[in-house]
Structure 1
Amino acid sequence: MASPAISQTVRPLDTLRLGILGPPQITSVVAQHLRLLGAQDDVAGQQDAPGAITLTGGGYESAQATVTWGGSGSGLVDEATVQAATGVMAVHGRRDGHPRGLAADYTATATGVLAVQGLLAGLIGQSRGTAAAHVSTGADRAGLLAVSQYLAAAGADEGEAAQLGPGGPPFTSAEGVLFELETLDPGAWAAFWRALDAPADAMRAGWRPFQFRYATACAPLPQALHTVTRAHPLARIRQAAALSGAEVCVLHTLADRLAEADGAAPWSLRPYGADGPLPSSRAASGNPVPPTVGLPLAGLTVLEAGRRIQAPLAAHLLGLLGAEVVRIEPPGGDPLRGMPPACAGISARWLALNRGKKAVEIDIKAEADRRRLREMAAEADVFLHNWAPGKAAGLGLDSDDLARVNPALVYAYTGGWADRIADAPMGTDFMVQARTGVGEAVRPEGEAPVPSLMTLLDVLGGLHGAEAVLAGLLLRERTGRGVRVDSSLLGAADTLTAPALARAARGGNPRRPAGFRHPLPTADGWIAPTDDSALAAAAYDLRELSTPDALARLGSHGLTATAVTTDLSDLHHDPRFAGSISRDAHGAPAVSDPWSFA
């Protein structure tokens, strides 16, 4: 079909109407994001089927999505059971030495973003000539996607690069102030601790677990390092950071975040060239594809210059939707390809985010290679990166630069702070968690706030990045113009903490009650009751019962629970996820696509 377009389109879903029904933890995210993208509530269009979401109007056939907690018969019926089964509790709990739940509704939030992605992709596909599609996704798929790097490592040919064990930041000052420390430079790490007179052996022993905490979700640091910070006031610690090049960030509360929140959307879309003629680039028409092609982005090209998790994950999701993804890597290739543990000589974690992508080595410091990259961008549909702020402009590769060679390009930047906080520290996952109150949101009342060492925001930020690109592509289809889209870890944090901030705004306690989502030990493992069953289930002592017997005992009293996955390698054979996990060509575990199109 021809691309539905209206002359005054300023948002991708302008003139479309929204009907929605389903689990509120999931559908609240879907509704919020679709409204921000321009959809209007259609009371007459409310859905009768649980979990059904529909977009109508705008010249499109109806776009439909279904969201669920888990597959039929899986026993996954709410956030707690999904976190338990998919391994989220196991990974998040590594810092503590035992599984524990996230007090925030993480898998529901991720599912909501995935549902929006599926709907946007379906509309893009309609614009490009593919048949209308009904998309389905679930919190079980979102949970598996969130742990996919950890799952890949668990199934690798070799052991972890760093020790797994309890422990990690934040650190505590002499005044009792909790703070995060961040540096990617071993020299800055050493200089920081030397400035505080830390023992040399503790300083050396601490670097590797600190460096790999992104990968392992734990950091068993020498206790001496925590002892050192407790001996110094915060002012002295800040001075040591400033002199060394490391950064510290005091943990902020949810109340702090509420006081400064600007109400901005988690991403921004800025069409360019709105006053000029429509672009003549081949990308302007979205590369129409035959209706027989099933995936909505088939025939589109994404150039990705991404590092670590956020941008590579966003591009990975676009690839799963049918786009051809070309990674821009430095001479010699991405060094993270060699990060242990490996499968067939390639980093298992790297494969989890980058399998199936093509790669081109480009030296962005060389003018000839930058010219080559501009030539590639002239023939692409999307350029996506997460370089340090200001780097793209310094290289002549910012959106304005590339729009001159391709005015229909969707230029996407996935960053840390989106220039929304003036005194922001380094824009990494754990620093953004610290600065935005996530440390409080993921721990219940009565516990010290502690940012998760699971890369919550890198993953959710990658999901937001793909969502923003899809919104940009749809807007391009409706206007014929290229778009700059920006997303951030800050936006991801605000999406995740939105329910807690809403409770605080109403005058309530933003944190969940004491003991919230603490799994119960059995004789041979752990079980997690549903949130509704948790209070009653806690009255039973199950420590002498096997896990099946413990589940049966609770079930006999009308209480629902599920077994907690403690070893991610067991997920391959878990009947709750039949057919959801396979092996790629290198032998690395791979989770299934998070959506199904029909």
Structure 2
Amino acid sequence: MTPTTPSPPGIQAPPQVAQQVAARLLALVGDPGTATVPCRVDWAGPVDVPLADERAVQAACGVMEVHGRASGRPTPLAVDYASTVAGVLAAQGVCAALLGRARGAGPAWVRTSVGQAALFGVVQYLAAATADGQEQETAGPRRCAPDSAGHRPFVSADGVVFEVETLEAERWLGFWQRLGASRGAVRDGWAPFQQRFGTATCGLPEELHGVVRRASLATVREAAAEAGVSVLPVRESTAPPVAPRAWTLSPLGRAGGAAPARTGQGAVGSPLAGVRVVESTRRVQGPLAGHVLRLLGAEVVRIEPPGGDPMRGMPPLAGAVSARFRALNDGKRVVEADITTPAGRRTVRELVADADVFLHNWAPGKAGRLRLEATDLCSAQPRLVYAWASGWGGLWGSAAPPLGTDFLVQAHSGLAAAVRPEPQPPAPSLMTLTDVLGGLVSAQAVLAGLLARERTGRAQRVDSSLFSAAALVPRPRRRARWGAWEQPLATADGYLWLTDAARARPERITDVVGADAALCPEAAAARLAARSTAEWSARCARAGLAAVPVCTDLSRLAADPRFAAALVRDEYVRPIAPWEFL
């Protein structure tokens, strides 16, 4: 990225966190050509809202709404998540532009924004909220306790806060039965627990929390080990236990022949036109990586089991397919193959023989058992970029790792402590922060691998993980502590967010609200409930205070003219590709 000079007084300052993340990732690419691609990152992009800071973006673009669902009110993330995503998007744009140049008349420069990054971060929630099929979220049973502070992790009898993870109902049942929970509570808890990845809510029966409050962590871990369930304490420190690289890049074999000649190479708006990607992925991280590469112009061939990916049927539906699934997989060509059989593995090798990239997010050891490791597939395609998007990378060494899922990674990486302010206890956000960021980092790793292949002619292996992606998010050494005005302010019909610049002028807030914002913040905030969000927005604007209405319903974004240029409506609503190439 080209350096940015400081903004003059009165001019909007650029998003520094996004620039820093992009610079960090581009330095890791190790290609001097990245410095020749100008890249601009601004706050709003095509979103017609005056955005000038991270929390304002979170408020306007639905991040606060999704993160706060479990608590029943929009809530900011206490980290610069949207800006981090924007930094990864910027690095992707630069690398894609450089690849386009190497293969034809590629773009001269690229632009993205923090606003587009935020919309990209809520892509699956936006799709579910706007699908033609009616949303069918599973509400918790009546005896589920409300989580007024948001998602509530489990606490053992010896005071250890921990998270539980399993993807199988039988293991869930076995774990809770070993701890003495009733079958009814276990049954009622499974649906909200299983669906929390898509709904960002998880109302569990109070009995389950009570059961673990009576058991030591050692007892909980023993039950988990017997049932095959993963249990991890939530770190109180915001810092990750180790500082991993965002990805690792390893050359393989010798220089191979030329890549297959294909049409459409080097198109300005689709810099990866002519690149073919084969993916065997599931859930969010892997499919999102393939989705990003497709948006950049690549042809993506998706391998699914016979009968199709089970996630296709998850409600709500957009047309005949799950809206959440479509948000990450539309536009990919599908080939069905049972990769556990010789015939299925032969299909994989045949597809890879004419591909540039093979991408998977299989569990550790699966590629070796299937004989579909990098060395196996590079014999079929000596210029292959082989990409594994894992949960933990090499963090656990030779020991068997816990399940590498979003919420466990948040818990162990310190992100769970960083996203919530004091005095709330550390707890993962039920917005899939690391799944999205992990998919984006995996796609960036693939782009780095393609650039390395261009330079060397050799096949490349790229490894990334949810854990390495989580470590990208800047976080303070100590957890944040917010004042009364650093939360969305309730109005008569919604919420209003005062930007950083507005909160720096309490005397003007006092003039607008009619109560002393500095000395009596609770009284001043209470006065806001007497008028609508629109009225307060207008009053703030007349006083020169930047205030942003908080999105409290993602389905309304589709009808909001301010977002018309940033969203596309089909059978569901999705963000436009988050880069502009010229």
Q: Do both proteins adopt the same fold according to a TM-score greater than 0.5, normalized to the shorter chain?
A: yes
Q: Which residues in structure 2 correspond to 1:112-131 (within 5 Å)?
A: 112-131=87-106
Contact 2:34 2:95 in 1 (8 A): no
SS at match of 1:389: coil
- 1:494 is aligned, of 449, 463, 471, to 471
Matched, 1:92 2:67: yes
- 1:583 is aligned, of 563, 569, 576, to 569
Which residue does 1:64 correspond to in 2? 38
Matched, 1:205 2:188: yes
SS at match of 1:248: strand
Whole-Å separation in 2 of the counterparts to 1:70 and 1:460: 20
Which residue does 1:471 correspond to in 2? 448
Which residue does 1:13 correspond to in 2? none
Q: Deviations over 1:161-190 (max 9, x none)?
A: 422895444111112221101011111111
Q: Which residues in structure 2 correspond to 1:37-186 (within 5 Å)?
A: 37-38=29-30, 55-56=34-35, 62-71=36-45, 73-156=48-131, 157-163=133-139, 167=147, 168-186=151-169
Contact 2:60 2:551 in 1 (8 A): yes
- 1:344 is aligned, of 319, 324, 339, to 319
Matched, 1:313 2:313: no
Contact 1:281 1:406 in 2 (8 A): no
Whole-Å separation in 1 of the counterparts to 2:338 and 2:566: 38
Matched, 1:596 2:580: yes
Whole-Å separation in 2 of the counterparts to 1:36 and 1:451: 28
Q: Which amino acid aligns with 1:595?
A: W
Q: Structure 1: state its 5+ residue gaps.
A: 1-16, 41-53, 57-61
Q: Which amino acid aligns with 1:593?
A: A
Deviation of the 1:287 alpha carbon: 5.0
- 2:214 is aligned, of 208, 223, 231, to 231
Contact 2:244 2:471 in 1 (8 A): no
Contact 2:421 2:479 in 1 (8 A): no
Deviation of the 1:197 alpha carbon: 1.2
Contact 1:281 1:407 in 2 (8 A): no
Which residue does 1:9 correspond to in 2? none
SS at match of 1:302: strand
Matched, 1:33 2:25: yes
Which residue does 1:460 correspond to in 2? 437
Whole-Å separation in 1 of the counterparts to 2:350 and 2:84: 38
Contact 1:469 1:485 in 2 (8 A): yes
Contact 1:310 1:414 in 2 (8 A): yes
RMSD between aligned alpha carbons?
2.1
Number of equivalent positions: 546
Whole-Å separation in 1 of the counterparts to 2:264 and 2:279: 22
Q: Which amino acid aligns with 1:38?
A: G
Contact 2:99 2:106 in 1 (8 A): no
Deviation of the 1:150 alpha carbon: 0.7
Deviation of the 1:23 alpha carbon: 2.1
Which residue does 2:248 correspond to in 1? 268
Q: Deviations over 1:368-398 (max 9, x none)?
A: 2211211211110000000001101111101
Q: Which amino acid aligns with 2:488?
A: P
Q: Which residues in structure 2 correspond to 1:348-387 (within 5 Å)?
A: 348-387=323-362
Whole-Å separation in 2 of the counterparts to 1:457 and 1:555: 36
Which residue does 1:295 correspond to in 2? 270
SS at match of 1:463: helix
Deviation of the 1:561 alpha carbon: 1.6
Bigger shift: residues 292-301 or 568-577: 292-301
Matched, 1:529 2:470: no
Q: Which amino acid aligns with 1:594?
A: P
Judging changes above 3 Å, is the alpha-carbon distance between structure 1 residues 516 and 450 closer, same or farther for their aligned structure 2 residues? farther
Judging changes above 3 Å, is the alpha-carbon distance between structure 1 residues 551 and 24 closer, same or farther for their aligned structure 2 residues? same
Judging changes above 3 Å, is the alpha-carbon distance between structure 1 residues 191 and 364 closer, same or farther for their aligned structure 2 residues? same
Which residue does 1:45 correspond to in 2? none
Deviation of the 1:281 alpha carbon: 5.2
Bigger shift: residues 106-115 or 223-232: 223-232
Whole-Å separation in 1 of the counterparts to 2:186 and 2:66: 26
Whole-Å separation in 1 of the counterparts to 2:262 and 2:450: 12
Which residue does 1:280 correspond to in 2? 257
Whole-Å separation in 2 of the counterparts to 1:287 and 1:238: 54
Judging changes above 3 Å, is the alpha-carbon distance between structure 1 residues 515 and 272 closer, same or farther for their aligned structure 2 residues? farther
Contact 2:303 2:335 in 1 (8 A): yes
The normalised TM-score by structure 1 is 0.87
